[in-house]
Amino acid sequence: MEEEEEEQVATEPPKIHRLDESVVNRIAAGEVIQRPVSAVKELVENSLDAHSSSINVVVKDGGLKLIQVSDDGYGIRYEDLPILCERHTTSKLSSFEDLQSIKSMGFRGEALASMTYVAHVTVMTITKGQLHGYRVSYKDGVMENEPKACAAVKGTQIMIENLFYNMSARRKNLQNSADDYSKIVDLLSRFAIHHTSVSFSCRKHGAGRADVSSVATLSRIDAIRSVYGVSVARSLMKVEALDNDPSSSVFQMDGFISNSEYVAKKITMVLFINDRLVDCTALKRALEIVYAATLPKASKPFIYMSIVLPPEHVDVNVHPTKREVSLLNQEVIIEKIQSVVESRLRSSNETQIFQEQTVEPPSSSQIISSKDSNRNPLASGSKSQKVPVNKMVRTDSSDPAGRLHIYLHAEPRGHLEKNTSLTAVRSSVRQRRNPKETADLSSIQELIAEIDSNCHSGMLDIVRNCTYIGMADDVFALLQHDTHLYLANVVSLSKELMYQQVLRRFAHFNAIQLSNPAPLKELIVLALKEGDTDPESTENDELNEKIAEMNTELLKQKADLVEEYFSIHIDKDGNLSRLPVILDQYTPDMDRVPEFVLCLGNDVDWEEEKKCFQVISAALGNFYAMHPPMLPNPSGDGLQFYQKRKLVRNNEGSLSCNTAADDMMMEDEIEHELVAEAETAWAQREWSIQHVLFPSMRLFFKPPNSMATNGTFVRVASLEKLYRIFERC
């Protein structure tokens, strides 16, 4: 453009002169048609206004060489062709009053005219009932020639060639940025998911395959699936809002928003207001804030929203391309939408974490232990009220279908909704298995495929549909599935689940920050000492130190790898400071860090990729598994451990008969603290088993075949039979 001339340093006031009309038009055109994608938008909107059911776009050279939009709409009348591309010619608006209630996309009659000032425009069109169509070209708002008869099927085809041929600076700018084609693809994707009764396609000139290709469908989610892919569609939830109070706001919103499992680098916000694709920065920002506050890990959502409100409440004239709009009562509307989205996110998040609630605290049942006495896992509970089995599981064997509902939190949301969000979570697992960045690490894919192919379908059904009743002892949980009771080894289950999750989250972990970075060397020494036959002896100290030093050096060298893929952070000084989140809401027992670090240093073969990842994943699995806490369980047999030590002290006390009573008290105190600590650890573990382990297993776990026979899962009783026994009593 001519701006360069104005750069001169002025000594005198420059003379004001009237701009040449063609220059004015070109500047105005440049405002409406800012880049190729804006031309496409105008043309597609015209096609939509013409009631088309199929719109096809072809683009060459990012739109600079050619943009061609073909539709099957009602076409343009022969007699309208001469003024088609003059400014302010439109079939959509004739008076100012119309402006108040306009429903179509265009109305300013500017778009086509603008294009003729900055490009070569050719129109081919045919109206209903005509034997042939017409073809005509335009320049600077006027026809270049009389319309020529041509063959045509239905609708209109408009070709924009050599866009900005007369605006060299703009053209140069655009040529440097090669992303206009992707902008056009993005634009058509957006249209396609809103106008579901229209089929869209977009391809590069000469390309056989279309980059957007949608077919007319009745369902919005089908449209999203076909355009944005299965994994996006699966992580979406429906949202709706409605207000019809003229004193505050009048609008209706419906849309789809992504859940906590949708993780992206950028927010995608597809907003239609009164069927017009627009931006509303204020709304977008408001929703971003909700996501950041509610789902920080999924704070770049996918949002599709369609808002309908009285046309007179929308001001589309704030921007020359009608792109940014402002609404009447904007604050009220935004606030209402914001709160609907927020509560939707919260409820879906809770659904994922708290699957169900057991009714009874973990307690033993002698009936079962007598059935299965050789396992002896059941002696611990010892608050041995007899709980009738039917009461304990709160179920009725004659109505197994209703069983799960009883355990659900009495939340107002419906069962169906809950299920959709569960499905979304499940699918996101699938999505996680194919994250783009790790797709090339085929070893991970192989390990995951091994899990899938080795999955035991019978146990999968149990895991998915069982009810957790409680812990039967330190290691075994009691589960009910249909009319059967099972004992399941929580340690082996959690170990395997963690292993599988490490592979699935590979390279995509959130991190747990350790409050105090732990020196690797000391950890390894500690672990080695634990392994020694006589931990008190100092015999191996020197050797242990050496091993620890070497391992620390090795792990420091591997720091980048373990950080990138496993989010295990080792700093320059050889301290461990971060660990991965494998299951949300769960931190591993830090007493097991030394063992883990030793395993990393000793057992990993860093040369072979697959083996290396597998062993690290297994080591993490073992570390994060829900082992019984190191302190014995004070509520079971473990209480002896604490009593015994107290007894010894009592004896000592009575031997040296002058022991002060105060000392005795002190000793007592310490024991109580230890008991309290142990109780907390055990209670915490049990909480995690119930609220993290089993819900996650339901969603993610693929039980390996070996678990069917190695004692991880044991069927202990059939309820029907138990009832019969009760009846006899």
Which residues of this chain interact with Mg ion, rule CB under 5 A? 46, 106, 111
Q: Does 107 bind ligand ADP (CB under 6 A)?
A: yes
Q: Does 84 bind ligand ADP (CB under 6 A)?
A: yes
Q: Which is nearer to ligand ADP, 160 or 459 (CB)?
A: 160
Q: Which is nearer to Mg ion, 106 or 601 (CB)?
A: 106
Q: Does 574 bind ligand ADP (CB under 6 A)?
A: no
- For residue 306, the partner it binds in ligand ADP, Mg ion, none, with Cβ less than 5 to 8 A by kind, is none
Q: Does 601 bind ligand ADP (CB under 6 A)?
A: no
DSSP string, 11-59: SSPPPP-PPPHHHHHHHHHHHH--SHHHHHHHHHHHHHHTT-SEEEEEE
Which of residues 54, 82, 86, 92 is near ligand ADP by CB under 6 A? 92
| CB burial string 134-155: b at 16+ within 10 A, e below | bbbbbebbebeeebeeeebebb
Q: Which stretch binds ligand ADP (CB under 6 A): 16-24, 67-75, 94-102, 552-560?
A: 67-75
Q: Minimal CB distance to ligand ADP: which residue? A: 106
Q: Does 695 bind ligand ADP (CB under 6 A)?
A: no
Tokens of 562: 């373990």
Q: Which is nearer to Mg ion, 321 or 602 (CB)?
A: 321
- For residue 84, the partner it binds in Mg ion, ligand ADP, none, with Cβ less than 5 to 8 A by kind, is ligand ADP
Q: Which is nearer to ligand ADP, 200 or 228 (CB)?
A: 200
Residue 71 Cβ, how far from ligand ADP at the closest point, in Å? Answer: 5
- For residue 524, the partner it binds in Mg ion, ligand ADP, none, with Cβ less than 5 to 8 A by kind, is none
Q: Which is nearer to ligand ADP, 99 or 664 (CB)?
A: 99
Total residues contacting ligand ADP by CB under 6 A comes to: 22
Residue 583 Cβ, how far from Mg ion at the closest point, in Å? Answer: 53
Question: Cα–Cα distances in Å, from 108 out to 46, 92, 162?
Answer: 12, 8, 24
String of contacts with ligand ADP for each residue 155-174, x by CB under 6 A: -x------------------
Orientation of helix 593-603 relative to helix 520-531, angle to 10°: 90
Residue 213's φ and ψ, nearest 5 degrees, are -155, 110
CA distance 181 to 62: 5
Q: Which stretch binds ligand ADP (CB under 6 A): 2-10, 86-94, 226-234, 295-303?
A: 86-94
Residue 31 Cβ, how far from Mg ion at the closest point, in Å? Answer: 15
To the nearest 10°, the Cα dihedral for 456, 458, 461, 465? Answer: -130
Q: Which is nearer to ligand ADP, 322 or 685 (CB)?
A: 322
Report DSSP state, residue 313: G
Question: Cα–Cα distances in Å, from 449 out to 15, 277, 427, 441?
Answer: 76, 42, 16, 13
Residue 268 Cβ, how far from ligand ADP at the closest point, in Å? Answer: 27
Question: Cα–Cα distances in Å, from 136 out to 68, 124, 345, 351?
Answer: 14, 7, 53, 60
Q: Which is nearer to ligand ADP, 199 or 551 (CB)?
A: 199
Strands (E), 367-473: 467-471
Q: Which stretch binds ligand ADP (CB under 6 A): 69-77, 454-462, 606-614, 633-641?
A: 69-77
Report DSSP state, residue 10: P
- For residue 68, the partner it binds in ligand ADP, Mg ion, none, with Cβ less than 5 to 8 A by kind, is none
Nearest Cα to Cα of residue 38 among 160, 127, 124: 160
- For residue 71, the partner it binds in Mg ion, ligand ADP, none, with Cβ less than 5 to 8 A by kind, is ligand ADP
Residue 85 Cβ, how far from Mg ion at the closest point, in Å? Answer: 11
3-state secondary structure of 78: helix
Residue 697 Cβ, how far from ligand ADP at the closest point, in Å? Answer: 56
CA distance 182 to 188: 10
Q: Which stretch binds ligand ADP (CB under 6 A): 85-93, 181-189, 539-547, 705-713?
A: 85-93
Residue 227 Cβ, how far from ligand ADP at the closest point, in Å? Answer: 22
Q: Which stretch binds ligand ADP (CB under 6 A): 106-114, 350-358, 562-570, 695-703?
A: 106-114
CA distance 313 to 333: 12
Residue 305 Cβ, how far from Mg ion at the closest point, in Å? Answer: 23
Q: Which is nearer to ligand ADP, 51 or 297 (CB)?
A: 51
Q: Does 47 bind ligand ADP (CB under 6 A)?
A: yes
Q: Are 168 and 189 a contacting pair, CB within 8 Å?
A: no
Q: Does 46 bind ligand ADP (CB under 6 A)?
A: yes
Q: Which is nearer to Mg ion, 91 or 166 (CB)?
A: 91
- For residue 304, the partner it binds in Mg ion, ligand ADP, none, with Cβ less than 5 to 8 A by kind, is none
CA distance 584 to 692: 8
CA distance 180 to 67: 12
CA distance 347 to 420: 12
Which amino acid is it at 634?
P
Q: Which is nearer to ligand ADP, 35 or 108 (CB)?
A: 108
CA distance 356 to 351: 9
Q: Which is nearer to Mg ion, 75 or 601 (CB)?
A: 75
Which of residues 34, 53, 91, 427 is near ligand ADP by CB under 6 A? 91
3-state secondary structure string across 540-584: CHHHHHHHHHHHHHHHHHCHHHHHHHHCCEECCCCEEEEEECCCC
Q: Which is nearer to Mg ion, 198 or 227 (CB)?
A: 198
Cβ neighbour number for residue 249 with a 10 Å cutoff: 21
Q: Which stretch binds ligand ADP (CB under 6 A): 84-92, 215-223, 235-243, 533-541?
A: 84-92
Q: Which helix (H) or strand (E) holds 462?
A: helix 457-465
Tokens of 216: 């007319």
3-state secondary structure of 143: strand
Tokens of 261: 């499992």
Residue 44 Cβ, how far from ligand ADP at the closest point, in Å? Answer: 9
Q: Does 38 bind ligand ADP (CB under 6 A)?
A: no
Residue 566 Cβ, how far from ligand ADP at the closest point, in Å? Answer: 55
Residue 222's φ and ψ, nearest 5 degrees, are -65, -40
Residue 110 Cβ, how far from Mg ion at the closest point, in Å? Answer: 8
Which of residues 30, 73, 133, 638 is near ligand ADP by CB under 6 A? 73
Cβ neighbour number for residue 396 with a 10 Å cutoff: 12
Residue 155 Cβ, how far from ligand ADP at the closest point, in Å? Answer: 7
Residue 107 Cβ, how far from ligand ADP at the closest point, in Å? Answer: 5
Scan for tokens 């693929």, then name that residue: 702
Which amino acid is it at 586?
Y
Nearest Cα to Cα of residue 621 among 638, 603, 609: 603
Q: Which is nearer to ligand ADP, 61 or 110 (CB)?
A: 110
Question: Cα–Cα distances in Å, from 137 out to 43, 124, 167, 336?
Answer: 16, 9, 20, 49
Site for ligand ADP, rule CB under 6 A: 42, 46-47, 50, 71, 73, 75-76, 84, 89-92, 106-113, 156
